[in-house]
Amino acid sequence: MTNARKGRSAQSADDAQNIDKVREILFGSQARAVDKKLSTLDKTLRKQTDALAKDLQNRMDDLEDYVQGEIKALQDRLKLEQNERTADVREASRTLTEAQKGLQKRLTDQLGAVQAGNKGVVKRVEDQGKRLQAEIQQTYDELLESQNEAFDELLSDKQDRQALADLFRDLAAKLGGKKK
């Protein structure tokens, strides 16, 4: 029985080889053509994928450069506006101080003239002087508060833009990581 099995096994192997030869004769050129086309298609796809990835990276780099430039420009404008507002507040403070000194001098002069005459008038002038002083102080405080609110608003805008830049930077890093 073992000889019969060996004979059948050898014949099966010969038949399989013959079938492979017939397949090669019939379909060999078509299979090679298909393999060649698939190889060409694979190379083309890889080249296009690499070119697309490179283009995407270049665009992300350009976007990051643009965002950084915009942030820098906004920071410069914010600093310039802050300096201008600080100078305006100093000028307003100086003007108010001068006005206060002028009013104080006028009050002193008037008080001196009136003291000799009428004590009731002196009291009214003092009250008016205090009221004017309080109004000047109130105006100064309102101006200072307005400037501080504007500065806080500008600072908030700057922080929002910085958060946006961080988001774009993280997005670029994530996209760059997926490419690899």
Number of domains into which the chain is organized: 1
Contacts 24+ apart (CB under 8 A), 46-53: 53/179
Range of the domain at 110: 2-179
Question: Which token pair is 115?
Answer: 């003291």
The values of phi and psi at residue 173, to 5°, are -65, -40
Torsion, Cα of 168, 173, 177, 178 (10° steps): 0
Total residues found in the chain within this entry:
180
Please tell me whether the overall predicted TM-score, pTM, comes out greater than 0.85 for this model.
no
DSSP conformational letter for 117: T
- Tens-binned pLDDT, residue by residue, of the chain (180 aa): 566 566 566 677 777 788 877 777 777 778 788 888 989 999 999 999 999 999 999 999 998 999 899 999 989 998 998 898 888 888 888 888 988 888 888 888 877 776 666 677 667 888 898 998 999 899 888 888 888 888 777 777 667 778 778 878 888 888 877 655
